[in-house]
């Protein structure tokens, strides 16, 4: 059953949903996306290291990240941006900073590493007003289907700083054994998930969604790679058909 709520606060979406999986389960997206409005293509494909071959993809990322790279462009001109951390409460009316400028090698100045056939793909969690994640913050109580390397990462994080377990985790994997073999090392920048201090989204002026740069360090060239990324929280359901909590794309570097 789909229920609709009405609100008079102009900052809050007029309608909010409850009792619907799609209305309460965030979707996952990726950038750059193919420039093909006539198909449902999810293929990131370019040849070699020449700028004219990868320029579309890096320009697409730069456009997507424009507000992140230039905080003064957001409503409020960045005046309410706050340097958030896990052990600090976010002051009322403030929004958390997402500073992508030092996310090497996934930076504008470095062509997001496309020129080295070692590209970065950016993952974002779609906004749902008022949604709060239920964290996987106990290494002894993780889902069976969670990737082993992510389970180890969560365990290590608990040993380093338990506060950092308040995270919506991210995993990216090859979809078939051949994809797993050929995808190579994957790094997550600035960390492996969306920090909990970004939630809930309340439509505050200048708010920017948290993002993660997924760096494919040395994927095998000349082979189509099928990749699936997932967001992990107890109240995130994975449904590829409806693009809930999971996103698929392909990577081909000739």
Q: What is the mean pLDDT of residues 121-137?
A: 95
pLDDT tens digit string along 46-89? Answer: 998 999 999 999 999 999 999 998 877 776 666 788 999 999 88
Element (DSSP H or E) covering residue 159: helix 148-160
Does residue 17 lie in a domain region?
A: no
What's residue 7's pLDDT? 40
- Whether the pTM exceeds 0.75: the reply is yes
Q: DSSP class of residue 201?
A: B
Does residue 4 lie in a domain region?
A: no
Query: Over 70: is that where the pLDDT of 121 sits?
Result: yes
> Which one has a higher pLDDT value, 240 or 20?
240
**CATH code of 74's domain:** 2.60.40.1660
Instruction: Give the list of residues 6+ apart from residue 131 with CB closer than 8 angstroms, or none.
Output: 24, 26, 199, 200, 201
Query: Could you tell me if 10 and 229 are in contact, meaning their C-beta atoms sit under 8 angstroms apart?
Result: no
Q: How far apart are CA 98 and CA 101, in angstroms?
A: 9
Does residue 235 lie in a domain region?
A: yes
Q: How far apart are CA 42 and CA 37, in angstroms?
A: 11
pLDDT tens digit string along 95-111? Answer: 999 989 899 999 999 99
Cβ neighbour number for residue 143 with a 10 Å cutoff:
10
Does residue 6 lie in a domain region?
A: no
Compute φ and ψ for 209, nearest 5 degrees.
-65, 145
Q: How far apart are CA 248 and CA 25, in angstroms?
A: 17
Cβ neighbour number for residue 92 with a 10 Å cutoff:
7
What's residue 205's pLDDT? 87
> Per the structure, how many domains does the chain have?
1
What's residue 13's pLDDT? 46
Query: Could you tell me if 215 and 189 are in contact, meaning their C-beta atoms sit under 8 angstroms apart?
Result: yes
Query: Over 90: is that where the pLDDT of 213 sits?
Result: yes
Does residue 21 lie in a domain region?
A: no
pLDDT tens digit string along 132-160? Answer: 999 999 999 999 999 999 999 999 999 88
What's residue 38's pLDDT? 52
Does residue 206 lie in a domain region?
A: yes
Does residue 22 lie in a domain region?
A: no
- C-alpha triplet 242, 248, 2: angle, nearest 5°: 15
The confidence band for 10, taking pLDDT boundaries of 50, 70 and 90, is very low
| Enclosing domain of residue 140 | 27-253
- Which three-class secondary structure state does DSSP give residue 130? coil
Does residue 203 lie in a domain region?
A: yes
Q: What is the mean pLDDT of residues 111-134?
A: 96
Element (DSSP H or E) covering residue 22: helix 21-24
């Amino acid at each position: 059953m789909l229920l609709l709520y009405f609100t008079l606060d102009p900052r809050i979406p007029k309608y909010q949903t409850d009792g619907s999986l799609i209305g309460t389960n965030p979707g996952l997206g990726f950038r750059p996306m193919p420039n093909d409005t006539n198909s449902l293509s999810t293929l990131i494909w370019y040849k070699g290291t020449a700028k004219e071959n990868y320029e579309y993809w890096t320009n697409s990322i730069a456009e997507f990240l424009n507000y992140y790279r230039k905080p003064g462009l957001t409503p409020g001109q960045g005046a309410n941006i706050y340097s958030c951390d896990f052990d600090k409460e976010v002051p009322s009316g403030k929004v958390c900073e997402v500073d992508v400028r030092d996310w090497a090698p996934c930076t504008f100045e470095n062509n997001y590493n496309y020129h080295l056939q070692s590209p970065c793909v950016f993952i974002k969690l779609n906004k749902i007003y008022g949604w709060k994640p239920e964290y996987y913050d106990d290494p002894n109580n993780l889902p069976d289907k969670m990737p082993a390397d992510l389970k180890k990462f969560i365990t290590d994080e608990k040993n380093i700083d338990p506060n950092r377990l308040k995270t919506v985790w991210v995993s990216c994997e090859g979809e078939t054994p051949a994809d797993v073999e050929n995808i190579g090392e994957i790094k997550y920048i600035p960390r492996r998930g969306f920090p909990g201090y970004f939630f809930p989204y309340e439509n505050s002026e200048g708010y920017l969604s948290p993002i993660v740069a997924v760096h494919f360090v040395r994927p095998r060239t000349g082979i189509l790679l099928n990749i699936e990324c997932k967001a992990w929280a107890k109240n995130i359901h994975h449904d590829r058909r409806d693009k809930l909590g999971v996103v698929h794309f392909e990577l081909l570097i000739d």
